[in-house]
Amino acid sequence: MSFQNAVFIPGPTNMPEKIRQACSMPTIDHRSPIFGEILNPCLDGVRKIIKSEDAHIFIFPSTGTGGWEVALTNTLSAGDKVLAARNGMFSHRWIDMCQRHNLDVQIVETPWGDSLPSDQYEEILKADINHEIQVVLATHNETATGVKSNIHAVRGALDSANHPAMLFVDGVSSIGSMDFQFDNWGVDVAVTGSQKGFMLPAGLAIVGFSDKAMKRKHTAKLPKTFFDIHDMIKGYSSNAFPYTPPVGLMNGLKVSLEMIFEEGLENVFSRHYRIAQGVRLAVDAWGLKLCANSIDVQSDTVSAICTPEGFNATDIVTRAADKYGMAFGVGLGEVSGKVFRIGHLGMLTDAMMLSGLGVAEMVMLDLGLDIKLGSGVAAAQEYYRHGN
C-alpha cells in the first residue's frame, strides 16, 4: 500500500494535513480552562452539523460502535423491546449488541440492497397497542451495501401509529457528508464517529440526545461506567471529562468543524453528491450494477459495486492494494465476495476520485473482466466537467 495514494474505503477517510497537524499538539492540562476552548466549539459545532437547536451532544473516546452502546445503555433496561430492520452488516451489528445487552429485539429481515421498510415499521407499531416497543433503530446509511434510508419516513411511521417509541439513528457514514436533520426528523439519539465525514482518525464516538432521550437516563438500568452520560454531563459542567479526554483528537475535531463550516454545510453535501454521481455513472459505463436496489436509495458516501456471478470481488481489492498501492473496500457479510466498495466521503475531490476510478478499471481488466479501459473515467469526467 502506498502512503502517496488517496484511500477509497468507506472509512477511515483521507485526512487533511491541517487536521493531522491539529491532532499532533503539545500536552496540555486537560483540567485547565484551555481545554474548554476546545471542548465547547466541538459540542456547538456538532449540534450545527446534525441541524439541531438543542440536542445534547456527547463525545466519548471510542468509535461508532461505542456510540451505539452509549445510546442503548443510557436509555434502556434489560428486557426492553426494540424494533429494528436488518438490511446490512451494520444494522446487524447494532441488533447483535442489543441482544448481548438482553434487550428483546423484534427484527424485520430486509434484503441487503433495500432501504429500511418504513411501511412495515408502521404496521408493527400500530399493532403494538400496549406500546411495549421502546425504541426503533434505524441505520441512515448502510455502509456495507451503499444504501441510504429515509429517516423522515421512519419518523412518519412512528407518528402515523401515534407511538411513543424513541427513534435512534446510526449516522456513522452519513453525518458530516449527507444531510441529517435531527430536529426535523424527530430523532432521539444520533450516533456517528470521527473517522468518516469528520476526516479524523478513528477514536471519537459522537452522540446527540433529544430531551426525551435524556429523561430516560434516570430510569435506564443497563450497566455502564465509561459510557455514562450522567458522568459526562458533570464533567462538561466544569469544561472537562470525567476521565482523561483525547485532547489531540478533540482539537482535530474542532479544526474539522471549522473546515466544514468554511466550505459551507450545504456545499459539503453537494460535493458528496457530485462525486458519488460520477462514480455511479462510471459503474454504469462498466456495465456493472450497484448493490443499492433503486436510484433513490443510492448512498452519496459509499458505492457497493456488484461483480459478475462466480467472480470473487475481493480479488479486486487485493489486486489494487498489491499492484497499484490503492485501497478499496471489501464486501461484508452477505455480500462478501460479491461486491467491492468505493468510499467517496470526507476529504475528496473530483480529481482524486478520477484516480480511484482509473485504478479500479486497470484492476478489473487485469483480472479478466470485460471492462473497456477509460470508459468509467470518461463518464465521470464528462459529468464532473458539467455537474454542479
Query: In this predicted model, what pLDDT tens digit does every residue of 33-86 receive, in sequence order?
Result: 999 999 999 999 999 999 999 999 999 999 999 999 999 999 999 999 999 999
Strand partners, 303: 342
Residue 361 confidence (pLDDT): 98
Q: Is beta strand 204-209 parallel, antiparallel or unpaired with respect to 56-61?
A: antiparallel
pTM: 0.96
pLDDT at 387 over 80: no
Cell of 369: 473482466
Q: How many CB atoms lie within 10 A of CB 53?
A: 8
Alpha carbons 72 and 59: distance in angstroms, whole number: 15
Residue 388 confidence (pLDDT): 64
Residue 2 confidence (pLDDT): 66
Q: How confident is the model at residue 123 (pLDDT cuts 50, 70, 90)?
A: very high
**What's the average model confidence in pLDDT over 94-106?**
98
Share of the chain above pLDDT 90, in %: 97
Residue 117's nearest CA partner among 106, 103, 128, 104 is: 106
Residue 245, preceding bond cis, omega within 30 degrees? no
**What's the average model confidence in pLDDT over 319-327?**
97
Residue 58 confidence (pLDDT): 98
Query: SS3 for 196?
Result: coil
Alpha carbons 50 and 280: distance in angstroms, whole number: 26
Alpha carbons 201 and 189: distance in angstroms, whole number: 23
Residue 87 confidence (pLDDT): 97
Q: At what angle do helices 33-49 and 247-263 cross, to 10 degrees?
A: 40
Q: How confident is the model at residue 322 (pLDDT cuts 50, 70, 90)?
A: very high
Residue 17 gets which letter from DSSP?
H
**Which H or E run includes 142?**
strand 141-142
**Which H or E run includes 204?**
strand 204-209
- Residues with Cβ within 8 Å of 84's Cβ and at least 6 positions away in sequence, in order, are 91, 94, 95, 98, 105, 106, 107, 108, 136, 137
Largest CA distance in the chain: 62
Query: In this predicted model, what pLDDT tens digit does every residue of 352-379 receive, in sequence order?
Result: 999 999 999 999 999 999 999 999 999 9
Q: Which domains are delineated in the chain?
A: 17-261 (3.40.640.10), 265-386 (3.90.1150.10)
Residue 4 confidence (pLDDT): 87
Amino acid at 65: T
Share of the chain above pLDDT 70, in %: 99
Hey, which bits of 279-367 come out as E strands? 289-290, 302-306, 329-330, 339-343
pLDDT at 276 over 80: yes
Hey, which bits of 307-375 come out as E strands? 329-330, 339-343
pLDDT at 345 over 80: yes
Residue 29 confidence (pLDDT): 87
Query: In this predicted model, what pLDDT tens digit does every residue of 184-207 receive, in sequence order?
Result: 999 999 999 999 999 999 999 999
Residue 1 confidence (pLDDT): 62
- Residues with Cβ within 8 Å of 330's Cβ and at least 6 positions away in sequence, in order, are 313, 314, 317, 336, 340, 341
Residue 117, preceding bond cis, omega within 30 degrees? no
Query: SS3 for 24?
Result: coil
